[in-house]
Structure 1
Amino acid sequence: MPAARIRTGTREFRQTNRAMFLGGFSTFALLYSVQPLLPLFAQEFGLSPMHSSWALSASTGALAVCLLLASVASDRLGRKNMMCLALLLSALLNMACAFAHSFTQLVILRALLGVTLAGLPAVALAYLGEEIDAPSLGYSVGLYIAGTALGGMTGRVATSFLSDYLTWRPALAVIGGAALLATAEFWRILPQSNHFKAGTLDLPTILGGARRHFQDGGLPWFFCLAFLLMGSFVSVYNYLGFRLAGAEFGLRHSEVSLIFSLYLMGMFSSVWMGKLADRFGRRRVLWTVIAVMLAGLLLTLSGSLVLIIAGIALFTFGFFGGHSIASSWVGRRAKMQAGLASSLYLFFYYLGSSLIGSFSGLMWETAGWPGVVAVLAACLILALWVAVRLRKLAPLAA
């Protein structure tokens, strides 16, 4: 008789949520620790803002490509083993970045980090969808995403402040060392998987599963949302720092990094919106948080620093709420090869980060912040249309 799924109130439920929160925290701390350092890279290596963004785009691009392979590999290696190995190797690579002698070396190491890091986000949502009882899934996914929000904020703020006093190299080494400690605790407390079926590790498995997912009436639209939402989100945080540190506001590097503390809004919204989606239905809540994102983005056009901060807070709140709802919906929608479905979602998620993030850099160089906002507003209007369309999505048969 198969083991029961993990329910609210049990010791396993608490341990799973703690471990996945920690895993999400570590993943995003490692992935985005370089984002506030982009102006420093541009200065030290003589780069344009768009070219300096390759330090981040190399990781997110490699991550996107490797997610599909990592999800299938986890069927052979096991969910927990895959996630632990991903965290361990990524922490070591982040420490190695501190010793890069050129920007080219740094980009190569960051690309390798994206390859290894793929093992956790590729598996995390599938693991939760398989192991957590359905009525509690929204909360657990929301908590995992809250961990990514706090990790992203902590990695950015910590490297920014440390780089002011120690330079960026020891800052990256410290983040890598902290991730090693987190990996040990993650391995200790996370329960083993009990509800996934091992698959065959081959290309036909990937292509066949992907074809079935793209034939579904809803999943391709979620992939589109992932591309648009994440591309918009990373673009704002990539280039806002250049604006705030420029002549218009003249903020110091450590002062600009405080903007990343607004990720706390993401911690709150991912859990809260997950609960609201469990209660009222995902289709009723998703479009509203995307509208909040759009409103926040438009506020950043203001010349007032207070209004810009308010806009970023709304934008961040909306993004993490939307990501929490959409990603948990994918986990429940995919009846077969849930790991592959989650990886396809994240493939487009990080592909959007790389492609829209780079294109927004071109707009920053040619049209300034209004040009960036124009591109991202178009993305969010399209995302809002998709979310409204998903309100009419027919539920799957039980």
Structure 2
Amino acid sequence: MPPSVHAVKTSETAATPGQKHYLTRGAGAYRRASLALFLSGFSTFSLLYCVQPLLPIFSQEFAVSPAESSLSLSLSTGFLAVAIVCAAAVSAGLGRRSLMSISLVGAALLTIATAFAPNWHLLLVIRALQGLVLGGVPAVAMAYLAEEIDPRGLGATMGLYVGGTAFGGMSGRVLTGIFAEYLTWRPALFIIGAIGLAAAIGFIALLPPSRNFVRRPGFDPRFHAKAWLGHLSNPALPFIFTIAFLAMGSFVTIYNYAGFRLVAPPYGLNQTELGLIFTVYLFGIGASSIGGLLGDRIGHFSVLLFGLALTAAGSALTLFASLPAIILGIIVLTTGFFMSHSIASGLVGKLAHGTKGHASSLYMLAYYVGSSLMGSAGGWFFAVEGWVAVVIFTLAMLALAFVSACLAQHLARRKA
């Protein structure tokens, strides 16, 4: 019987040195792993970004500025960035599957707790804790895929995982906006937390144990420091990390402050209408999967450069005053971003030599630091010069990301 269809054991196992048991397309374990990782992406991003359509509400209810209201998201992503680095080290001893399961359940329960926060400062504390807990998912999920999936199909599977993150980001934003319109924001967050808990249970039931993961008992700081420094000395990888920082920073900046623009005159959208705009995430779901498949066939860097150019074009389109043009711009931006992200995250697994969990953690660290720092910095541009300044800020970041992709391509080819 092929390794990909061996019976799945109930606990995480260590790989035999020199032997790889990959999950291959068509096997039942492959399908279960794909669905489980889709659910993990869905749960993580629905819980993380469910507050984004509520930023104008928080600004009014707690009497804080737009930049201050963005802290309910930026603190989560900032602490998530720190936790991701620790998660790579913890998962080396605890195991990929166990850490992801604990993280998903804990984050869902904290989202439910957010619904009962009596004041602004406690709400921020809970959201920061949620970021810390969620750190056990993104980098570890990427490492699980890089270790367990047949490399010939890794691009497609990574695209499916990123599609799950897109679906979760969309669902969290859309459903929260609708529920907040009719039930107020507290019941909205409670319901989102309950949905995330159900997804976490499905993940635990479906995900096959790791078979290529080598457990390292105890904690050896020198080993982890050497692993991270090794990836930073890889000629191409630091530029991939830079792309994650800049692309995610530009994407979150547009999404954070588009709501403030669209609830104000002359648009005057309500929470349901604002939430429904986030259904454009559906384009991100398709783009991430298509991007992964195209990368496997025609070249990952070619698709990455196209995706970044598409993201910049979408950002520029939002400069137009008409609402259809703004929505079209957000669609193009979302499509380009998720295409870029699925390719860049897949390139980490391909370019890293050993300790893929540590390489993934550095990518996700850059990704969420970009979200946290640039997402909040965009509020300063919005307050000073309005939407035009926000777009100029994002285009500058995307131009630097494009240059970084060109340099990474050149260095990867030279090394090959």
Counterpart CA distance in 1 for 2:376 and 2:36 is 33
Counterpart CA distance in 2 for 1:63 and 1:396 is 34
Q: Deviations over 1:171-204 (max 9, x none)?
A: 1111111111111111111000011222352332
Contact 2:166 2:282 in 1 (8 A): yes
Structure 1 partner of 2:81: 64
Structure 1 partner of 2:9: none
Aligned counterparts, 1:1-398, within 5 A: 2-199=19-216, 200-395=218-413
Contact 1:30 1:90 in 2 (8 A): yes
TM-score, normalization by structure 2: 0.94
Pair 1:392–1:38, CA change in 2 (3 A): same
Contact 2:303 2:339 in 1 (8 A): no
Contact 2:315 2:333 in 1 (8 A): yes
Matching residue's letter, 1:96: A
Counterpart CA distance in 1 for 2:415 and 2:263 is 53
Contact 1:68 1:206 in 2 (8 A): no
The alignment partner of 2:26 has SS state of coil
Counterpart CA distance in 1 for 2:310 and 2:142 is 25
Counterpart CA distance in 2 for 1:23 and 1:363 is 34
Which runs of 5 or more structure 2 residues have no equivalent in the other structure? 1-15
Counterpart CA distance in 2 for 1:276 and 1:51 is 40
Counterpart CA distance in 2 for 1:51 and 1:82 is 32
Counterpart CA distance in 2 for 1:189 and 1:258 is 31
The alignment partner of 1:191 has SS state of coil
Q: Deviations over 1:39-81 (max 9, x none)?
A: 0000100011000000001100000011011111011111100
Q: Deviations over 1:114-153 (max 9, x none)?
A: 0001101120000000000011100100000000000000
The alignment partner of 1:326 has SS state of helix
Contact 2:43 2:104 in 1 (8 A): yes
Matching residue's letter, 1:232: S
Deviation at 1:257? Answer: 1.3
Matching residue's letter, 2:274: V
Contact 2:285 2:338 in 1 (8 A): yes
Matching residue's letter, 2:328: A
Counterpart CA distance in 2 for 1:3 and 1:56 is 40
Deviates more, 1:189-198 or 1:201-210: 201-210
Counterpart CA distance in 1 for 2:88 and 2:21 is 23
Deviation at 1:334? Answer: 1.1
TM-score, normalization by structure 1: 0.98
Counterpart CA distance in 2 for 1:3 and 1:11 is 18
Q: CA RMSD in A?
A: 1.2
Counterpart CA distance in 2 for 1:251 and 1:309 is 13
Deviation at 1:278? Answer: 0.3
Which runs of 5 or more structure 1 residues have no equivalent in the other structure? none
Matching residue's letter, 1:363: F
Counterpart CA distance in 1 for 2:323 and 2:223 is 51
The alignment partner of 1:392 has SS state of helix
Pair 1:222–1:179, CA change in 2 (3 A): same
Counterpart CA distance in 2 for 1:52 and 1:397 is 45
Counterpart CA distance in 1 for 2:257 and 2:45 is 18
Give identity over the alignment, percent.
47
Counterpart CA distance in 2 for 1:397 and 1:226 is 22
Contact 1:333 1:396 in 2 (8 A): no
Deviation at 1:396? Answer: 9.0
Contact 2:163 2:284 in 1 (8 A): yes
Contact 2:180 2:271 in 1 (8 A): no
How many residues are matched? Answer: 398
